[in-house]
Structure formats: structure tokens, C-alpha cells
Amino acid sequence: MRLVWFAVLLLSVVQLARTPINLDLSGFLPSHAQPTQRLLIDQMRDGVGGRLVLLAISGDTTENRARLSQQLAARMQQGDHFSLVANGAPLPPEQLEWLMQRRYLLTPGLSAQSFSAAGLRQALEADLRLLASPLGGMIQAWLPRDPSGAMLMLLQSLAGQNPPVSQHGVWFSHDGKRALLLAYSQAPGMDARAQERALASIRADFSANLRADDGSVSPAQLQLSGAPVFAADARQQIERAAQRTTGLSVLLVTLILWLAYRAWKPVAYSLIPLLTGLLVGAAAVGAWFGSIHGITLAFGAILIGEAVDYPAYLYTHRSAGETLTTTAWRIRHALRLAMLTTALGALFMLLSDLEGLRQLGLLAAAGAVAAGLTTRWVLPSLDPGVYRLPRLPAWPRPPRWLALLLLAGAMVALVRADLVWDDDLAHLSPTPPAALEQDRLLRGELGAPDTRFLLTFTAPTAEAALALSEQHQPWLESLVRDGTITGYALAAQSLPSQTAQQARRAALPDPATARRDLDLALEGLPFRPGSFAPFLRDIEHSRSLPLIQRTDLDGTPWATRVDALLVPGQGHWIALAPLSGVSQAARLTTAIDQHRAPGVALLDIKGDTETLLRNARKQALLLMLAGIAMIALLLGIGLGSVGTVVRTLLPVLAAMLTSTATLLALGIRLNLFHLISLLLVLGIGMNYALFFQRRAENGEAAQRAGLAVGLCGLTSLAAFSCLALTSIPVLHAIGLTVLLGTLFSLFYAAVWRPDVAPNNPG
């Protein structure tokens, strides 16, 4: 037996060694999705919102903040964590010239009319006024090349509708107290570890610049915000809390086990089935799915935590002078049922839409079976040495009316609860509200899109998608004007469709016409003769310019923007328009409903994700109910009598119902993680009921059964109290649910345990 066990362990280790671990959340998003869901998931995984880091430098003097902003941007640009860093510094001359040369292909809003004598006259008169205004100094240098102001229009279009204010050539907050920057990470938003490295590099770059040449250290501070920061912080917080609670609960469980056995060997051996289960479970997931999600591994470890109970049943059921092999043989039925019911409950998760849940199901099922088999066949061959068990007073039997009353109360609470579910993703995030508010303010100052709303323009080809978005740009402008949004960004602003470029190029007059019309337009105006020769040269040059392709943008800041905002789908392309400053979501959805154009849709990342989560949660509930039905069937076969099945299942179901009712009564609304936790309650409660249900042949056996359940209950309570005490929403939800579930399982199992029976069927 040990040989088989070794072989299985070895195979598992080999399998695990070649199983990659996914650290992103993508496994908890549906894999068979409709195109919009697909897009939603892609956007969540590596869309614009998830990659955008907002930076604010505060403290020190304005000049120093501006200097630090420049130095930080320079360093970040040299590194390879970010594809784009912006701090409001003017474009370098070569990039300005690049734009200048292509302005007649890029700038929207110019037509053949703009280059006619009348159009030019109008532009030149406006130029005179501009020259006389305080803005005159800004345009003077460009005027000879660009009397129609195409470059200014282009720069404004690229800068967005509400660019931040600048001081000393870099972006600042309106109060002037913070220098602002934006960075776009190379790594997708969901890759929390890569994001962590990128953020660490920013912090290092910033501190490296704090020391001035004269040795003084600037008191300036850097604040980071945005989805990557929240993701990295959340991961760290969860990891830290998980480590702390794991450490604490291992300590407590070990202490309790030691107090029970007063010997180290049984304590140490108790871990063998658990570790075997985890190893085999993870390997099974790796073999089936090809990879395993980090989160599956974490939850899986919690889920098969009940496997630590199996050895306790073995060790506590040993009678004086009996070999463990005999004990294992005696409790084999209960152990088998415990193992199979857990496996069955978990296996139903294999039908889930979420790969993460499917993995979790397989891990828990395989793990439970492996742990059960190890307890049955391997543990008895390991000599635990001499240990003695404490004699506990007999379990009190709480009166049935109390249990019925409690159950009835729970039912009432369940029926009356009007708000049972909570699908708000924000409630699962450990990000403090103050940080979210800071993020909102910073986003407003920077005019950066919020992470929630995107407009999508879907068409068969990239070119068609660009053209579609261009076609609706006037409508977007109208949304800005009426205040529904404060701004938007489009790939077409940096890479207009070929059609648009062609039309703009065709609108340029031939040299002779251009000269004639310009002369006509200049008549009577005080411009020095020949002032606009560069303009005529540029027009002529632009007429033969090749159209701008995506590859022409390589090496410019606009490449990143186009790649982020023009994405391929399955058999189609999507141009995305992230929206800024959506103050009322309802107003936006109404505007879009009214616009009703084919290919144009709104992607509400938060709302749509919550819908996905809600569907997953509903499905998980159905699967759980199906699992319970199958377990009842299995118990029917295993236990042979309907009465016993009812007596075994009743405490478990009562415990699950009462725990749920208690959560609701505490004002907690339920999510997917509570459901997963209830699955664990099912497993644990079933074990208690099964071992209590074993008809004890005598008082000694009843005492042992009581001790086994007491020991298992105590360890579960200790471990999950630690989890319930954390402030991380997900961990807290699991801890509290299982804690309550364990308590009520013990209670109901004690109520419905049978009297000492004369014969022993097991």
C-alpha cells in the first residue's frame, strides 16, 4: 500500500512540476462567453483601465515637483515596465514635426472648402485676431506653415477635451499642489505580480531622484493610484492575511491535537492525508486543465481542510489494544461515505461555467478521495507510538424542540430576507473607500477615463471599425457638450481610417490653385508678401504623402494608444472609446439607447461583470443543490435506510440553513464565496453526522465518537475563527461562514445523534 502511495505521490510531484500556476483572476470569469462577454473579459484582463497608473507628486516646492516629474518620467521611459509615460511635457521637436508633416491627413474638420479663397480668407482674418490676442505668441512660429490652424486643432484633439493644467511644462493638479503623471503598463492589469514589479520600479525610480546634487533630500512624496495599484495592494493584503491566519491556525490546530494525543507522532501523521490530498488534487487539476489557478490552490487548501479530520477519526476510534488496521477496517464505511459525499458535492462544480470553480471542484474531489484513501490504507501502517486520549464527559443532548425552534427561526429569517445576494464587486475588494475617492479625484484632474464605461464600435475589419468610430465622433462631441461625459478617446484620433485620410488628402488643392486662392485671400490684409510660402510647400508635399498605417506609428506615443483602443475580436474588430467623467450612468445609457446605431454598444465593465458573477453564483447554487440530492442518493445506498439518511442529512442541511440565516441576520449579504464556504460546511457537517450516526455498540464507542467529533469541531472552529477575524472581505466571508457552519453542525449533530444501539452494523 505504501508503495502505491509513494508512486502516486511521485507522479503527482512530476505532474505538478510541469503545471504552470496562473496568478490572475481570469479563471473566475466564464470561458464560454458571448462576444460581448469575451470582450468584457479581455478588457478586464488586459484592457486600458487595468493598465493605467496615475501618479501624483506632492510636497517640496512647485519647481522641485516639476523637476521630479521630469526626472521620474525620463527614468520610467528608459525602463521596460511601461509602454507609455506622460507628464504633460511638450512633445519633443521630432514628434511635433512628425505630426506637423502629417497634419493634413490626421486633422479632422478640414475640407476642400478650408483651402478655397473664401475659406483661407476667413482663416487669415482669424489669425490676425489671434496674433493680436495674448495667444499670439503661441501661434506665431507655426503661422507661416499653418495659417488654417490644422496643427493646433490636431494637438487639441490628441490632448483630449480636458487636459490637466500645466506648470513649469508639466501637469499639475488645479490647486498646483501636486505634479501629475500617467503611465500605461506593459503587463496586463490582471497580472498582479508583474504590476507589483512595475510599481516597485516606479517607487525606486522616484526615490533615486530625491537626493539633489548638493546632497539634500527632497521631502516630496509619491502617490500611486489606478487599477494596477489596487490589484497589487489587494494581492499583497490577501497574501499577508492568508499567511498570518494560516500560521496562526496551524499553531492552534497543532496545539489542540497535541493536547488531545499528548504525543507528537499522531499530530505529525495527521498532516499526511491532508498534504497527500492537496498534492494529488493539485496534480489532478494540472493533468486535466493543463494549468492551475493560484486562487484554486488557496481555496482548495481550505476546502480539503476537512481532510485533517480523517486521521482524527482514525486515532480517536482506536480501542485499547487494537491495531490501527483494525480500527481503519471498523470505521471504513463512515470514512468511505465521508470521503465520497465530499467528493460528490465538489464534483458538481465541474459543471460550472467558471474554470476556476471547475478546478476547485476537481481539486476538492480528488483531494478528499486521496486523503480518505491515505487515512484508510497508509496511516494504519505508520506506528503513531503510544498516545492516550482524554476522557470527555458525554455530549449533552440539546432538546429537539430547541433545535426545531432554531431551525424554524432560521427559515423565517431566510424567507423574510429581501436582500440576500450581493454582487457588487467593490465589496469583495479590500481597497479602502478613501483610496477609491483619491483615485476618482486624480482621474478627474488628469481627465483620465474611469475604468467603468467603454463605448464599442464593432465592424468586420480594423479599417471599418475605425471608420465607424469616426462616423459617430460628432455624436460623442455632442455628449461632451451636454455634459453626459467630460471626454473620450479614440484610436482614430491618432490613426484615422484610410478612407478618412484619403478624403483629407484629396481635399488638398493643386499648387497652382493653392497659390491663386491664397493670393486672393491675402488681398487687403497686412501680411508681409511671401509669408506663407511654407504653407504652399506643405500642401504640395502632403498631396503625395502615403497614407499613415499602424506600423508608421511605431516608436511614437500614439502606437500604444491605437493598440489599446483598436482590438481584434473573433472574426471582427472593435474600436474602443473609454469615457471620462460619467457622472450619471443612467443618463449615459439613455443617450446610447436613443442613439441606437448598429455596431455601437456600451460596455459597462462593473455592471456587466456583476451580471456574470450573479449568473455564476446562481449556477453554483443550483449545482450545490444537485450535489446535495446526489449525496442523499449515495447515503441511501450506503446507509440502507431512509430514516438514517434523513437523520444524517437533516443536521447538515439544518446547519447550512441556520448559518445562512445567521449571516443574513448579521446584515451580511451573500456572494459566491459564501456559497463555496457552504460547500465546505456540507463536507464537515456530513462527517460529524456520519460519525455520530455510527451506531455505537457500547458506551466506550459512544465516548470515542463524541471525542472524535469534539476534536474535529474544535480544530475547525480554531482554524476558521482565525480566518473570520481578518478584514479581507473574501477571507472573512469564508471564515465566518465555516465557523457558523461548524458550530451549527456540531449542535444539530448532537441533537439528532442516535441512542446507544445494541448492535453495530458498521
Partner 1 sequence: MPSGKSLINVGLRLLGLGLFCASPLLAAADWGLPLLMSGFAAVEESRARFQEEKHLAMLTEPLMLSGTLRYVRPDRIEKHITQPYAESLRIDRDRLEWESQGRTRILSLRSQPQIWALAESLRATLAGDLPALQRHYAVKLQGTRTQWTITLEPRYDSLAQFIEQIRLQGRDNQLREVEIIEASGDRSLMRIEEIPN
Interface region with partner 1, contact rule CB under 8 A, candidates 266-274, 341-349, 522-530, 719-727: 522-530
Shortest Cβ 154–partner 1 spacing (Å)? 16
Q: At what angle do helices 672-693 and 294-303 cross, to 10 degrees?
A: 30
Size of the site for partner 1 (CB under 8 A): 26
Q: Which residue in 31, 201, 531, 589 binds partner 1 (CB under 8 A)?
A: 531
CA dist 45 and 48 (Å) reads: 9
How does strand 21-22 pair with strand 292-293?
A: parallel
The answer to the question of residue 131 lying near partner 1 (CB under 8 A) is yes
CB 627 within 8 A of CB 344: yes
Instruction: Please state, as a whole number, how many other Cβ atoms lie within 10 Å of the Cβ of residue 148.
Output: 22
Taking the complex as a whole, how short is the minimal distance between the CB of residue 414 and partner 1, in angstroms? 58
Nearest Cα to Cα of residue 95 among 494, 476, 376, 429: 494
**139 near partner 1 (CB under 8 A):** no
Residue 748 near partner 1 by CB under 8 A: no
Comparing CA positions, the residue from 204, 163, 159 lying closest to residue 180 is 163
Q: How far is the CB of 526 from partner 1 (least distance, A)?
A: 4
How many degrees, rounded to 5, is the angle at CA 327 between CA 325 and CA 333? 105
Phi and psi, residue 350, nearest 5°? -65, -20
Question: Is residue 58 involved in binding partner 1 (CB under 8 A)?
Answer: no
The answer to whether 478 and 604 are in contact (CB under 8 A) is no
Q: Which is nearer to partner 1, 172 or 692 (CB)?
A: 172
Among residue numbers 648 through 677, which ones bind partner 1 (CB under 8 A)?
none
CB of 42: closest distance to partner 1 in angstroms? 36
The angle subtended at Cα 405 by Cα 404 and Cα 406, nearest 5°, is 90
Within a 10 A sphere around the Cβ of 571, how many other Cβ atoms?
Answer: 7
Provide the minimum distance between the beta carbon of 129 and partner 1 in the complex, in angstroms, as a whole number.
6
Kindly tell me which of 524 and 555 has the beta carbon lying closer to partner 1. Answer: 524
Q: How far apart are CA 686 and CA 652, in angstroms?
A: 6
Query: Residue 582 to residues 106, 139, 276, 486, 548: CA-CA distances in angstroms?
Result: 28, 33, 52, 7, 32
In the list 1, 10, 126, 520, the residue contacting partner 1 (rule: CB under 8 A) is 126
Question: What is the closest distance, in whole angstroms, from the C-beta atom of residue 540 to partner 1 in the complex?
Answer: 22
Q: Is 118 in the site for partner 1 (CB under 8 A)?
A: no
- Distance (Å, rounded) from C-alpha 401 to C-alpha 19? 53
- Residue 475 makes contact with partner 1 by CB under 8 A: no
Site string for partner 1, 399-428 (x = CB under 8 A): ------------------------------
**According to CB under 8 A, which one of 17, 34, 93, 132 is a site residue for partner 1?**
132
Q: Which is nearer to partner 1, 66 or 500 (CB)?
A: 66
CB of 119 to partner 1, least distance (A): 15
CB of 66 to partner 1, least distance (A): 11
Contacts of residue 599, Cβ cutoff 8 Å, sequence gap at least 6: 457, 458, 459, 468
CB of 132 to partner 1, least distance (A): 5
**Does residue 135 belong to the site contacting partner 1 (CB under 8 A)?**
yes
CA dist., res. 277 & res. 367, Å (int) = 4
- In angstroms, what is the minimal distance from the CB of 463 to partner 1? 34
* Closer Cβ to partner 1, 537 or 595, answer by number: 537
Interface with partner 1, residue 526, by CB under 8 A: yes
* Stretch near partner 1 under the rule CB under 8 A, chosen from 33-41, 121-129, 629-637, 649-657: 121-129
CA 369, distance to chain mean position in Å, is 31
Task: Tell me: does residue 138 bind partner 1 (CB under 8 A).
Answer: yes
Cα angle for residues 612, 567, 102 (degrees, 5° grid) = 150
What DSSP string describes 704-745? HHHHHHHHHHHHHHHHHHHHHTSS-HHHHHHHHHHHHHHHHH
Q: Secondary structure of 12-59 in the HEC alphabet?
A: HHHHHHCCCEECCCHHHCECCCCHHHHHHHHHHHHCHHHHEEEEEEEC
Q: Does 140 bind partner 1 (CB under 8 A)?
A: yes
Q: Of the two residues 92 and 137, which places its CB atom closer to partner 1 in the complex? A: 137
Residue 487, beta-bridge partner list: 580
Nearer to partner 1, 131 or 411 (CB): 131
Nearest in space to 190 (alpha carbons), one of 293, 283, 285 = 293
Q: Is 237 in the site for partner 1 (CB under 8 A)?
A: no
Look-up of cell digits 505668441: 137
Q: Is residue 128 a contact residue for partner 1 (CB under 8 A)?
A: yes
Name the residue nearer to partner 1 (CB basis): 141 or 419.
141
Q: Minimal distance in Å, beta carbon 86 to partner 1?
A: 15
Distance CA 513, CA 103 (A): 20
For partner 1, the closer of residues 147 and 706 by Cβ is: 147
Give the span between the Cα atoms of 689 and 334, in whole angstroms. Answer: 10
In terms of CB distance, is 168 or 336 closer to partner 1? Answer: 168
Residue 134 Cβ vs partner 1, minimum distance, rounded to whole Å: 5
Q: Is position 431 an interface residue for partner 1 (rule: CB under 8 A)?
A: no
- Find the shortest distance in angstroms from Cβ 133 to partner 1: 6
The nearer residue to partner 1, 174 or 240, going by C-beta atoms, is: 174
Give residue 9's Cα distance to chain centre.
33
Find the shortest distance in angstroms from Cβ 111 to partner 1: 19
Cα angle 154-157-162, degrees, rounded to a multiple of 5:
140
Interface residue with partner 1, options 513, 527, 585, 614 (CB under 8 A): 527
Q: Does 478 bind partner 1 (CB under 8 A)?
A: no
760 lines the binding site for partner 1 (CB under 8 A): no
Residue (480 or 756) nearer to partner 1, CB:
480
State in angstroms the smallest separation of the CB of 478 from partner 1. 17
**Which residues does residue 488 pair with via DSSP β-bridges, in sequence order?**
579
Beta carbons within 8 Å of 8's beta carbon, 6+ residues apart: 276, 280, 370
Interatomic CA distance for residues 414 and 404, integer angstroms: 15
The reply to whether 137 sits near partner 1 by the rule CB under 8 A is yes
User: Cβ 514 to partner 1, closest distance in Å?
Assistant: 19
Sole binder of partner 1 in the list 59, 144, 444, 729 (CB under 8 A): 144
528 touching partner 1, by CB under 8 A? yes
Residue selected from 2, 21, 118, 129 as contacting partner 1 according to rule CB under 8 A: 129
Q: Which is nearer to partner 1, 147 or 356 (CB)?
A: 147
* Residues 154-193, interacting with partner 1 (CB under 8 A): 165-169, 172, 174, 176
Residue 349 vs 518, nearer CB to partner 1: 518
Query: Residue 299: which residues within 8 A CB-CB, separation 6 or more?
Result: 360, 676, 734
Q: Quick check: 184 and 83 in contact, CB under 8 A?
A: yes
Contact between 597 and partner 1 per CB under 8 A: no
93-101 helix and 150-159 helix, angle to the nearest 10 degrees: 120
- Contact between 677 and 734 under an 8 Å Cβ cutoff? The reply is yes
Is residue 109 involved in binding partner 1 (CB under 8 A)? Answer: no
When the beta carbons of 167 and 499 are compared against partner 1, the nearer one is 167
Rank residues 133 and 583 by Cβ distance to partner 1 and give the closer one: 133
Stretch that binds partner 1, among 140-148, 295-303, 336-344, 561-569 (CB under 8 A): 140-148
Q: Which residues of this chain interact with partner 1, rule CB under 8 A?
A: 126, 128-129, 131-138, 140, 143-144, 165-169, 172, 174, 176, 526-528, 531
